[in-house]
Amino acid sequence: MTPVIALLNSHRSIRRYSSTPIEEDLLQAIVGAGQAAATSSFLQGCTVIRVRSPERRQQLAALAGNQAHVQSAAEFLVLCADLKRAANACEQQHMVFAGDWTEHFIIATVDVALMAQNMVVAAESAGLGICYIGGLRNQPREVSDLLQLPLGVYPVFGLCLGYPDQNPECKPRLPLDVVLKDEVYSEQGDAERIALYDAQVREYYRTRTGGGHGQSWSEQVAGLLSEKARPHMREFLAEQGFLLR
């Protein structure tokens, strides 16, 4: 196993951070490593907003569901899917901008995810901890207004960065045989493997520091996908110029 693979397998979400600041050169290098990620059609459809104002951090923490680590992390970044630059390029080249197609939304959103994961690996390789904040999509209009996001830009998630002040266990993932298929999609043997995995997840929650809810993976995802999930997002995205066609 290479050191990079070992690093990737050691990922945990960190929600408690020390007061140690992140060196400016390191932060710049982390974002630069993010830019080196693959980008479909060379779009580079991601903008990163670094939020340093304590007042704005406090507002974002509240909008994300009162997540205190948004305020306590050394750095908080908001990663946005950005088609505004592409719109500007179209205008410059005297071409009609057609960024409201669903495919363009997918490209920009995937660009954000790829860039973010590069940034996370870079940060963790330097001893930092991270936590993604999807809760920004709880109230995306308010987040967009606070960050003055123009048409063609939307906040995909936030990212906490800082030196860890905790050492949580790694959360077990699905068995590889459930995820990695040979030639075609098949569910043969998956039910039995997932049943064993559910028991493993229950034990993880039972024994981890601070305890937990004790649910299995199947119980968690069933609860998640049997309810509405941020039904406001479609209307919001349309307002921002996405998913119109």
The number of distinct structural domains making up the chain is 2
In this prediction the pTM is 0.95
Q: Calculate mean pLDDT across residues 96-112.
A: 96
**Mean pLDDT computed over 147-166:** 98
Q: Are residues 114 and 199 in the same domain?
A: no
Whether residue 151 is found in the same domain as residue 181:
no
Per-residue pLDDT at 210 exceeds 70? no
pLDDT tens-digit map of 1-23: 899 999 999 999 999 999 999 99
CA 222 from chain center: how many Å? Answer: 21
- Give the model's pLDDT for residue 212: 65
Check whether residue 43 and residue 128 sit in a common domain: yes
Nearest to 141 by CA among 128, 153, 123: 153
Residue 238 within a domain? no
Alpha helices per DSSP H over 93-240: 102-125, 140-147, 176-179, 190-207, 217-225, 233-239
% of the chain residues with pLDDT over 70: 98
Q: Which sign does the torsion angle of CA 61, 65, 66, 68 carry?
A: negative
Mean pLDDT value of segment 138-147: 98
Tell me, what's the pLDDT at 211?
63
**C-alpha to C-alpha distance for 241 and 231, rounded to whole angstroms:** 17
Q: CA 97 from chain center: how many Å?
A: 28
Q: Say if residues 178 and 19 touch (Cβ distance below 8 Å).
A: no
* 182 shares a domain with 97: no
239 within a domain of the structure (yes/no) = no
To the nearest whole number, what is the mean pLDDT of the chain? 96
Of 168, 192, 210, the residue that ends a domain is 168
Q: Are residues 104 and 139 in the same domain?
A: yes
Does 30 have pLDDT greater than 90?
Answer: yes
**134 and 220 share a domain?**
no
User: Measuring CA to CA, how many Å separate 160 from each of 120, 128, 173, 209, 219?
Assistant: 10, 10, 22, 21, 28
On whether residue 244 sits in a domain, the answer given is no
Q: Give the residue from 127, 152, 168 where a domain finishes.
A: 168
Tell me the mean pLDDT in the region 26-41: 98
- Using an 8 Å Cβ cutoff, are 65 and 79 in contact? no
Residue appearing with tokens 């941020």: 230
In this predicted structure, the answer to whether residue 104 has a pLDDT above a threshold of 80 is: yes
Is residue 112 located within the same domain as residue 145? Answer: yes
- With respect to residue 232, please indicate whether it lies within any of the assigned structural domains: no
Q: Are residues 129 and 77 in the same domain?
A: yes
The H or E element containing residue 31 is helix 24-35
CB 218 within 8 A of CB 194: yes
Domain-located, residue 243: no
Whether 163 and 178 map to the same domain: the answer is no
Are 26 and 134 in a shared domain?
yes
Q: Let me know: does 132 contact 157? Beta carbons within 8 Å.
A: yes
Calculate mean pLDDT across residues 226-237: 94
Kindly list the strands in the beta sheet with 75-82, ordered across the sheet, starting from the edge strand earlier in the chain. 46-51, 75-82, 153-162, 129-133
CATH number of the CATH domain containing 138: 3.40.109.10
Do 143 and 49 share a domain, yes or no? yes
Span 160-180, mean pLDDT?
96
Range of the domain at 11: 3-168
Residue 59 and residue 180 in one domain: no
pLDDT-derived band of residue 209, with 50, 70 and 90 as boundaries?
Answer: low
